[in-house]
């Protein structure tokens, strides 16, 4: 058959990294990215992009660890290269602190990040309300830079990108052989996935360049993540809340909580408020599907539902999605040789 | 009782503040004045990156280790206060790198979270096989010195912009105690062969993605003669020059090349950093800090000098411990005065 035509729908971190993996592993494919939104207007742009994994209840831990490890290794290499600043990737050290000692003192990813160890008594004194903590060094993907860097690499390989709202995957069947669905929270409407639900997050992006370390409360709701130009402080985890408008009461609450962890934030300037809907699910939907109508088939690979763990596992799930695309291509080639008989 | 501090770098200003805080209420007649020909942003302290970190070895000066600790604890206590931002004070983590294993430093329990580097971390730094990670403090001179100046002015301390030519000049004016915080140029007031410049040069760049300090060590070439990268609140400082005996305060093109090439090799991401400024300064190097009292003859009278200079490349690191020690010496001097009126003897 002629070069398989692949459409990747969605241009957040998942869509762009998946498109890149497909290009890397299927040189014969023609890949196009279609998305209603591009950076700086994706959910990924709101996120801090910290590599601290979320645990998916529905996926075996060893699989999640593999995804995280692949992602960490990939970004680690970029962080130490001349491209790091353009790609927005940098190392950051800090602390995860707990008001009460957690049941699991060693998370599954503790040997993937760098220098993981329990905090010392002296370090904990800085957090009088917290009894236990972990210190480590991890990576941060700043957006928009990371997404723009992915877009640049895609364009360099000839991938076309179009702003387009896809309302039904089937509408792509005449132009493409394979569709990769990386629509994040958009999949709720696009494919009617009722297992996918938003977890609303509000964050503040502030100018506080003296903050060099991250601080995260183990409850995952209060955090301070220093990026290249701004510090992302947050947040909220509001299940089933679809509201994309910033809430002023929440802004004040976030600011107060973060100042109590890091008092110097009182001096933060130029506060920008953002809202994103984490595309949450028991497990990431990473699977193939065949759509058919009237004898015509459209092969689909789903890669969505990363919730609050998108950045942490993006490269790992992108590689898996690319593998599923290769399976689709093999299936198409099989079908096409049978058709020739 | 007139006390004149000579020098308005981190040592002079912090000593003046410590003295005023401690004795102003106790000694009603106390007047503190600061004399300096150079003040912020033109002092040696202004060019320093401001990282709290002593030398690797205490050189046998245990007193200095105590002063370093006192400074760290004092600053740590101020971290959570609203003044921290204005002071230019914040926490920072980072790496010390070596080409071979070395003993732990005297300050390992002073800083936070001191540990050895893991093999994976060392992968970041080809050529280095051993290292430390810890969290320390930054105290940026460009913010701290103005903050100290403001605190002093609020307390009524007077500043005089002038070059003091001799201790006698001060005593002739009626000053009772001189506190000599003249740093690298102390030899101009009183010869001191042990005091030598340790010339440093730094390149200031914009590299806000760098969040850690990285200090490399080459045991053969001596402290600060090996590349280092220290991110500040606005700029990142690249350095690695320490030329003993070189008084030249002009930037040197060869040194620039050395710093730039070595730092970019250490941290390839720096290749994209924009260079903003270059600066040279003279560390007031001495085998040990000179912090002591000297009674000098002033005509028929006696007057007191408290020396507080020679802090090398660790002035910011040790400043508050020294300021308190100098204040204690002044306390002794004050106790020796007769109860009524001004001190010995005035015709």
**B142 in a known ligand binding site:** no
**Which residue of A137, A141, A142, A267 is the best one to mutate when testing the B interface, meaning the one whose CB has the most B CBs within 10 A?**
A137
Instruction: Say which of A86, A91, A119 has its CB closest to residue B211.
Output: A91
Asked if residue B189 lies in contact with residue B182, where contact means CB atoms within 8 angstroms, the answer is yes
Q: Provide the 10 A C-beta neighbour count for residue B51.
A: 22
Residues 6 or more apart whose Cβ sits within 8 Å of residue B300? none
Burial class (CB in 10 A: 0-12, 13-18, 19+), B63: middle
- Rounded CA separation A242/A324 (Å): 31
A162 is in an annotated binding site: no
B313 appears as a binding residue in the annotation? yes
Q: Among positive and negative, which fits the CA dihedral B74, B79, B82, B86?
A: positive
Percent of chain B predicted with pLDDT > 90: 91
Chain A interface, best mutation among B131, B229, B269, by max A CB count within 10 A:
B269
Cross-chain CB nearest to B212 (options A91, A229, A267)? A91
Mark yes or no for CB contact B81/A263 under 8 Å: yes
**Which of the four pLDDT bands, split at 50, 70 and 90, describes residue B220?**
confident
A25 at interface of B, judged by CB pairs closer than 8 A: no
Nearest to A93 among B93, B207, B210 (CB): B93
DSSP B4-66: EEE--SHHHHHHHHHHHHHHTTT-TT-EEEEEES--TTSSHHHHS--B----SS-TT-HHHHH
Structure tokens at A111: 């040997």
The predicted-structure confidence for B9-48, as pLDDT tens digits, reads as follows: 999 999 999 999 999 999 989 999 999 999 999 999 999 9
Q: Write down the number of H helices and E strands in chain A.
A: 9, 15
The nearest alpha carbon in chain A to B109 belongs to A122
- The burial of A260, by beta-carbon neighbours within 10 Å (0-12 exposed, 13-18 middle, 19 or more buried), is given as middle
**Chain A hits for B121, Cβ within 8 Å:** 114-115, 137
Q: Which residues contact A248 (CB under 8 A, 6 or more apart)?
A: none
| 3-state DSSP assignment of residue B159 | strand
- The residue-averaged pLDDT of B121-128 equals 96
| Per-residue pLDDT at A337 | 73
A300 by Cβ neighbours in 10 Å (0-12 / 13-18 / 19+) ranks as buried
Percent of chain A predicted with pLDDT > 70: 99
Whether residue B233 lies within 8 A of chain A, CB to CB, comes out as yes
* pLDDT tens sequence across B54-97: 999 888 899 999 999 999 999 999 999 999 999 999 999 999 99
For residues B227-251, average pLDDT = 98
B116 touches chain A (CB under 8 A): no
**A79, A93, A141, A259, best to mutate vs chain B, most B CBs in 10 Å:** A93
Given a cut of 70, whether residue A158 has pLDDT beyond it is yes
What pTM was computed for the model? 0.95
- Asked if A114 and B211 come within 8 Å (Cβ–Cβ), the reply is no
Per-residue tokens: B117? 């580097």
Residue of B79, B85, B117 lying closest to A267 (CB–CB): B85
Nearest CA in chain A to B126: A80
* CA B96/CA A12 separation, integer angstroms: 37
Residue A283 predicted with pLDDT over 80: yes
- Identify the pLDDT of residue A338: 74
Could you give the strand order of the β-sheet that contains A5-9, starting from the edge strand earlier in sequence?
Answer: A160-163, A30-35, A5-9, A178-181, A296-304, A285-293
Interface touch A263/B112, C-beta < 8 Å:
no
The torsion region of residue A192 among left (phi > 0), alpha (psi -120 to 50) and beta comes to left
- Asked if the model's pLDDT at residue B189 lies above 60, the reply is yes
Average pLDDT over every residue of A233-258: 98
What percent of chain A shows pLDDT beyond 90? 95
Please check whether residue A272 touches B, CB under 8 A: no
pLDDT tens digits for range A107-125? 999 999 999 999 999 999 9
Interface contact flag, A81 B93, Cβ < 8 Å: no
- For A90, name the nearest residue in chain B, comparing CA atoms only: B209
Residues 192-221 of A with CB under 8 A from B: 209-213
pLDDT at residue B300, rounded to an integer:
78
- Mean pLDDT computed over A156-174: 97
Q: What is the CA radius of gyration of chain A?
A: 21
The pLDDT assigned to B339 comes to: 54
Query: Are A264 and B90 inside 8 Å of each other by CB?
Result: yes
Report the alpha-carbon distance of residue B33 to residue B6 in Å, rounded: 8
The answer to whether residue B347 scores a pLDDT higher than 50 is no
Is any Cβ of chain B less than 8 angstroms from the Cβ of A327? no
d(CA B89, CA B99): 31
- Distance of alpha carbon B54 from alpha carbon B321, whole angstroms: 13
Which among B133, B231, B272 has CB closest to A115? B133
Segment B314-341 mean pLDDT: 90
Band (pLDDT 50/70/90 cuts) for residue A340 is low
Q: Quick check: A59 contacting B, CB < 8 Å? A: no
Backbone angles phi, psi at B300, to 5 degrees: -90, 0
Q: Which of B117, B209, B234 sits opposite A228 (nearest CB)?
A: B209
The yes-or-no verdict on residue B301 having pLDDT over 90 is no
Residue A87: band (very low, low, confident or very high) from pLDDT cuts 50, 70, 90: very high
Judging contacts by C-beta atoms under 8 Å, the chain B residues touching residue A97 are none
Collect all residues of chain B within an 8 Å Cβ-Cβ radius of residue A115.
Answer: 115, 117-118, 121, 133
CA distance B263 to B221: 16
B139 beta partners: B89
Nearest CA in chain B to A213: B92
Report the residue of B125, B209, B213, B230 to disrupt the A interface, i.e. the one with the largest count of A CBs within 10 Å. B209
Give chain B's mean pLDDT: 95
Interchain contact A75–B (C-beta under 8 A): no
Is the pLDDT at A319 greater than 50? The verdict is yes
pLDDT mean over B278-287: 98
Q: What is the pLDDT at residue B346?
A: 45
pLDDT in tens, A43-62: 999 999 999 999 999 999 99
Residue A107 CB partners (closer than 8 Å, separation 6+) = A53, A55
Q: What is the 3-state secondary structure (H, E, C) of A232-251?
A: EEECCCEECCCCCCCCHHHH
Predicted pLDDT of residue A341 = 54
Mutate to test the interface with A, among B115, B135, B144, B230 (most CBs of A within 10 A): B135
Q: Please say if the pLDDT value at position B340 is more than 50.
A: no
Give the nearest chain B residue to A142 (CA atoms). Answer: B209
Three-class SS of B271-340: HHCEEEEEEEEEEEECCCCEEEEEEEEECCEEEEEEEEECCHHHHHHHHHHHHHHHHHHHHHHHHHCCCC
Question: Max alpha carbon distance in chain A (Å)?
Answer: 75
């Amino acid at each position: 058959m002629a070069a398989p035509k692949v459409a990747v729908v969605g241009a957040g971190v998942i869509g762009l990294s998946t498109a890149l993996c497909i290009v890397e592993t299927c040189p014969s494919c023609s890949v196009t990215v279609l998305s209603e939104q591009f950076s700086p207007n994706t959910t990924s742009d709101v996120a801090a992009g910290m590599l601290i994994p979320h645990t998916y209840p529905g996926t075996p831990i060893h699989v999640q660890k593999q995804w995280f490890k692949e992602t960490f290794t990939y970004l680690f290499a970029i962080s130490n290269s001349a491209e790091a600043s353009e790609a927005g990737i940098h190392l950051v050290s800090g602390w995860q602190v707990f008001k009460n000692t957690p049941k699991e003192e060693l998370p599954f990813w503790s040997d993937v990040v760098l220098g993981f160890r329990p905090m010392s008594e002296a370090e904990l004194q800085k957090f009088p309300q917290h009894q236990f903590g972990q210190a480590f060094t991890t990576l941060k993907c700043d957006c928009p830079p990371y997404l723009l860097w992915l877009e640049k690499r895609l364009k360099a390989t000839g991938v076309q990108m179009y702003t387009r709202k896809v309302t039904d995957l089937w509408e792509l069947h005449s132009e493409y052989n394979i569709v990769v669905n990386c629509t994040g929270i958009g999949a709720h409407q696009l494919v009617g996935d009722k297992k996918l639900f938003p977890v609303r997050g509000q964050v503040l992006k502030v100018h506080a360049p003296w903050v060099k370390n991250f601080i995260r409360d183990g409850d995952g709701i209060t955090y301070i993540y220093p990026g290249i130009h701004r510090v992302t402080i947050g947040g909220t985890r509001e299940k089933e809340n679809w509201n994309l408008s910033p809430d002023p009461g929440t802004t004040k609450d976030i600011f107060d909580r973060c100042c109590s962890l890091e008092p110097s934030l009182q001096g933060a300037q130029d506060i920008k408020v953002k809202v994103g809907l984490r595309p949450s699910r028991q497990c990431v939907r990473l699977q193939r599907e065949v759509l058919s109508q009237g004898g015509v088939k459209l092969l689909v690979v789903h890669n969505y539902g990363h919730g609050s763990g998108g950045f942490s596992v993006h490269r790992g799930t992108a590689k898996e999605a690319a593998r599923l695309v290769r399976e689709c291509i093999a299936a198409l080639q099989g079908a096409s040789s049978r058709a020739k008989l | 009782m007139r006390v004149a501090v000579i020098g308005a770098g981190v040592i002079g200003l912090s000593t003046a503040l410590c003295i005023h805080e401690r004795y102003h209420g106790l000694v009603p007649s106390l007047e503190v004045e600061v004399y300096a020909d150079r003040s912020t942003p033109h002092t040696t302290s202004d060019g320093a990156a401001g990282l709290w970190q002593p030398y690797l070895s205490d050189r046998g000066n245990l007193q200095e280790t105590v002063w370093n600790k006192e400074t760290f604890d004092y600053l740590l206590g101020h971290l959570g206060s609203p003044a921290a931002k204005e002071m230019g004070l914040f926490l920072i983590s980072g790496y010390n790198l070596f080409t071979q294993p070395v003993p732990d430093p005297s300050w390992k329990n002073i800083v936070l979270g001191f540990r050895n580097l893991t093999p994976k971390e060392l992968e970041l730094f080809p050529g280095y096989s051993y290292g430390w990670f810890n969290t320390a403090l930054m105290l940026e001179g460009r913010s701290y010195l103005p903050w100290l100046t403001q605190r002093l002015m609020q307390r009524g301390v007077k500043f005089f912009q002038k070059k003091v030519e001799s201790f006698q000049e001060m005593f002739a004016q009626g000053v009772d105690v001189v506190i000599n915080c003249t740093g690298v140029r102390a030899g101009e007031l009183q010869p001191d062969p042990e005091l030598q410049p340790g010339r440093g040069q730094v390149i200031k760049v914009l590299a806000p993605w760098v969040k850690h300090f990285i200090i490399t060590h080459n045991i053969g070439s001596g402290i600060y003669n090996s590349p280092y990268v220290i991110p500040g609140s606005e700029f990142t400082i690249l350095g690695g020059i320490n030329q003993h005996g070189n008084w030249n305060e002009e930037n040197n093109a060869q040194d620039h090349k050395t710093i730039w090439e070595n730092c970019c090799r250490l941290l390839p991401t720096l290749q994209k950093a924009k260079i903003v400024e270059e600066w040279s300064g003279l560390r007031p190097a001495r085998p040990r800090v000179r912090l002591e009292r000297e009674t000098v003859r002033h005509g028929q009278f006696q007057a007191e000098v408290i020396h507080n200079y020679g802090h090398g490349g660790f002035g910011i690191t040790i400043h508050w411990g020294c300021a308190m020690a100098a204040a204690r010496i002044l306390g002794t001097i004050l106790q020796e005065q007769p109860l009524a009126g001004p001190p010995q003897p005035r015709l």
